[in-house]
Structure 1
């Protein structure tokens, strides 16, 4: 496989992407992790630092960073798929404030580790700007800031002039800015993290697909706090089995490919495009001088960043959900969605040169829980994290630190956060899942078009949001 062709980001990593050796046969470990993306590698990183004696094995179907970790928009943000206000309603205000502070702190933690481990991931903490480009979007911006007040979200409502000073997009009526976001080169981050965990003694087996995960039945913890006794868990691969006290599922958008995982997280596809490097005159007019990440308040999400080499990397939803939670390489590219993204980018930035080339197109699945609530937990020797809905660059770090505490038996502020142990309901069986998810995508797309015409918020979109628990 040409791994450099997976995404723009993978084409620009600082290693040759040669796969590590596959699992050579049956092995024993203390902890086995399925998935060498951000979640799996952060978990291994913090576990190895907490207890260097742990035998940790990470199993990866392709190579480290092949999935969403090497394809995403490069936002190391404090975003969470469930709003702060919703968490406050479900878990209480104090829990929501603690969760928000942990997410905000996580952005800096990722930057700290990248610097400490010498990972050149083009880190730039310029914050995040969400533009309001219609009266309906401006109403949502104001409502978000008001709703989050007092919960530590650190959101600033900007006037049209203030927002345009940061990003001179078309039709800007205002916006919301937060300092808690950094722009990164996501593939350089995940590839560097893989090397860092190896230096700590973790073994990564690549080209080793996990075909089943069997939780153990842990007995009483040993005196050192680590799991002990009982039946050990097993990660099954074509090359052998890894038995361990703790089995960690860190498969996010690929969870549906595991037995029993088809209704746990729905794989929704997000696609991206990248332009050629743009001239200095474009950036002088457009802004993003601090490399702020950018989005707007449309319902069908778009997201972008100014890369370190002066490109616009821009993505969004719109690709269909595939029946049976199918995940296939051919779904990574959809010419219709790429064309729509290019048109949206030109609508946002009329100053783009007429002859600008789109040099890269790519995509991949992300994991969505039925209630849009990410979670992390450990029960009976089985650990999990995921359901980030595309906000996993930062949140996966928080997940890794939390799983490390749970697995080593530490009771900390992280293990008391409200997403720990959360159990999302399972997705509906097919064909209801296919009908519902794709109907939702259609509703959100048509809602944006209707709002552009009328200037009024879409009632259909608000109703669908309530159905999702927003």
Structure 2
């Protein structure tokens, strides 16, 4: 049995949760555990955004359903409360990749669904009174060198070909006029792509607010309740009773929803079906208005650049920069441990990358450092799936693009479970099955070599001024 984690300013689970604690908006006190055998119509494993969105749409569609959410820690504990706060139309598989495997109409439908999802999250948070600092300001992705500008141009050309995404290609002069991007040692940015289909939000406010809304709809949320296994129409769990005794119990349910993302790698029935990849973040102290005018990023805007070793950032509602990226290594056996949430080497890399992008923040203090695991399927393709024979549904493998995709997953799983045929249930990710990851040591070697190759691809492009050969070879493995 896993006890509730203690959170404090010295070792925050994330800046987002720390902000809730400091403001007094949420003390993160766990809800009661499930302490007996029980029967529900729907049992959802995982109290993150996938599970909560699924519960929300099921309860809205059919208030008579008796729904339970079982969460090992507390609602939002995993990636849902630690991410970069991008409510975007990004999807792990590109439109070109989806066209190759499912055809042009399916690729276009997926793009439209993702863009519509940003609007849907906006609608629900507004209608339900979830104050999560939602501001739709779009994403700016900077091109810092010639290969990056070529990639930016290719993205805009692909978007024009499919006719759904409204990307804009900005030249170097326009970027210079808008932003304080000089790029120490690498000259001015050559350009940028602006994508209007993205909003900035505070993810912990979203997931905790959604949990409250779901409870108000009659859904039961049991926290500190660890699911140990599941079978057709049956879930095994472990919790602690009111007298402190450990309870090994079972839930019977017509439908079971597996919504554990990267954290499912430790469960026997998930195992090698998903790989937990760590992404880490830092947050600065609040910056002055003068400094923000120099930087040029507006409220509601998110930002990144076209490097292969992904970075991402946002201007928070209280005028900090929350900035994250990849670079943390994969751990043997898909292990997930609290100490892996912090890696001084990666935090140092993130600070250098942030200062390289915005030199004006060189003297800004870093007040928070955190991280967590996200889920990656073997073919880097997300899925929303349902087996009517067993009653088991699942969604995940978002590869870091889950903040909005979880909403699409919740709507899709709700429709599948209720046997409602709609355009959502025809999307190309529905019932997609990815192959398993290789056993160790192949998984360890392959995942970490891929990480190394990604970093080398950026170095190769800076030196040669040409698109990376290594990146081109890795493209098909990353859903491109």
Q: In the alignment, is residue 373 of structure 1 matched against residue 388 of structure 2?
A: no
Residue of structure 2 equivalent to 1:419 = 429
Partner of 2:397: 387
Once the two structures are TM-superposed, the CA of residue 469 in structure 1 deviates from its matched residue by 4.3
Post-superposition Cα deviations, 1:367-420, rounded to whole Å, max 9, x if no partner, equal: 001111100010021100000001101000000000001111100110111100
Q: What is the DSSP-based 3-state SS (H/G/I as helix, E as strand, rest coil) of the residue aligned with 1:457?
A: coil
CA deviations 1:328-384 (Å, max 9, x no partner) are: 111000001001101111111111152x21000000000001111100010021100
The partner residue of 1:449 within 444, 459, 474 is 459
Distance 1:235-1:404 versus aligned 2 partners, 3 A rule: farther
Superposition map of 1:117-136 within 5 A: 117-136=128-147
**Corresponding position of 2:348:** 339
Q: Deviations over 1:32-74 (max 9, x none)?
A: 0010000000000000000001010000010001100100000
Take 1:381 and 1:267, find their aligned partners in 2: how far apart are those partners?
26
Normalised to the residue count of structure 1, the TM-score between the two structures is 0.94
Quote the residue 2:167 is aligned against.
155
- Checking the alignment, whether the CA contact within 8 Å between 1:302 and 1:317 is kept in structure 2 is yes
TM-score, normalised to structure 2, is 0.93
| 2:42 partner SS | strand
2:217 is the alignment partner of 1:207: no
Tell me the matched-pair count.
Answer: 453
What is the DSSP-based 3-state SS (H/G/I as helix, E as strand, rest coil) of the residue aligned with 2:272? coil
Give the counterpart of 1:403 among 404, 410, 413. 413
Residue 29 of structure 2 aligns to a residue in which SS?
coil
Select 2:206's aligned residue among 168, 189, 192: 189
* Cα deviation 1:106-162 (Å, max 9, x = unaligned): 001111111111111001100011110000100111112222323212211111123
Q: Which runs of 5+ in 1 are unaligned?
A: 217-231
One of 75, 78, 86 as aligned partner of 2:89:
78
The 3 A distance-change label for structure 1 pair 469 and 288 is closer
CA contact (8 A) 2:168 2:195 kept: yes
Distance 1:334 1:295 in 2: 21
- Tell me which stretches of 4 or more aligned residues in structure 1 moved more than 6 Å: none
Structure 1 residue 12: Cα displacement: 1.5
- Partner of 2:273: helix, strand, or coil? coil
Aligned-partner Cα distance in 1 for 2:407–2:127 = 15
1:281-308 deviations in Å (ceiling 9; x for gaps): 1111111124311011000000000000
Give secondary structure in 1 for the equivalent of 2:436. Answer: coil
Q: Is the 8 Å Cα contact of residues 35 and 58 (structure 1) preserved in structure 2?
A: yes
Q: Residues 235, 155 of structure 1: CA spacing in aligned structure 2 closer, same or farther, 3 A cutoff?
A: farther
Distance 1:295 1:374 in 2: 22
Contact in 2 for aligned 1:235/1:247 (Cα 8 Å): no
CA contact (8 A) 2:457 2:471 kept: yes
Question: Where does residue 38 of structure 2 map in the other structure?
Answer: 27
Q: In the alignment, what sits opposite 2:329?
A: 320
1:276-291 to structure 2, matched below 5 A, reads: 276-291=285-300
Q: Which residue of 2 aligns with 1:234?
A: 235
Q: Secondary structure at the match of 2:54?
A: helix
- SS of aligned partner of 1:150: helix
Gaps of 5+ in 2: 183-187, 240-246
Inter-CA distance 195–251: structure 2 relative to 1 (3 Å threshold): same
Aligned-pair Cα RMSD in Å: 1.2
Partner of 1:228: none
Q: CA deviation at 1:466?
A: 2.4
Within a 5 Å distance, the mapping from 1:17-56 to structure 2 comes to 17-56=28-67
**Is residue 227–residue 235 contact of structure 2 (8 Å, CA) maintained in 1?**
no
- Hey, what does 2:118 align to over in structure 1? 107
| Structure 1 residues 56 and 165: CA distance shift in structure 2, 3 A | farther
1:254 aligns with 2:263: yes
SS in 1 for 2:213: helix
Aligned residue for 2:359, secondary structure, equals coil
Structure-2 separation of matches of 1:237 and 1:158: 54
Instruction: Determine the C-alpha separation between the residues in 2 that align with 1:408 and 1:20.
Output: 28
Secondary structure at the counterpart of residue 211 of structure 1: strand
Offset of residue 165 of structure 1? 4.0
Whole-angstrom distance in 1 between the partners of 2:15 and 2:177: 29
Q: CA deviation at 1:257?
A: 1.1
1:80 CA displacement: 0.3
The Cα of 1:181 is off from its aligned counterpart by 0.3
Is contact 1:338–1:361 with CA below 8 Å preserved after alignment? yes
Q: Tell me the SS of whatever aligns to 1:46.
A: helix
Counterpart in 2 of 1:439? 449
Q: Tell me if the contact between 2:375 and 2:400 (Cα under 8 Å) persists in the aligned partners.
A: yes
Shift of 1:255: 1.2
1:90 aligns with 2:101: yes
Counterpart check, 1:139 vs 2:156? no
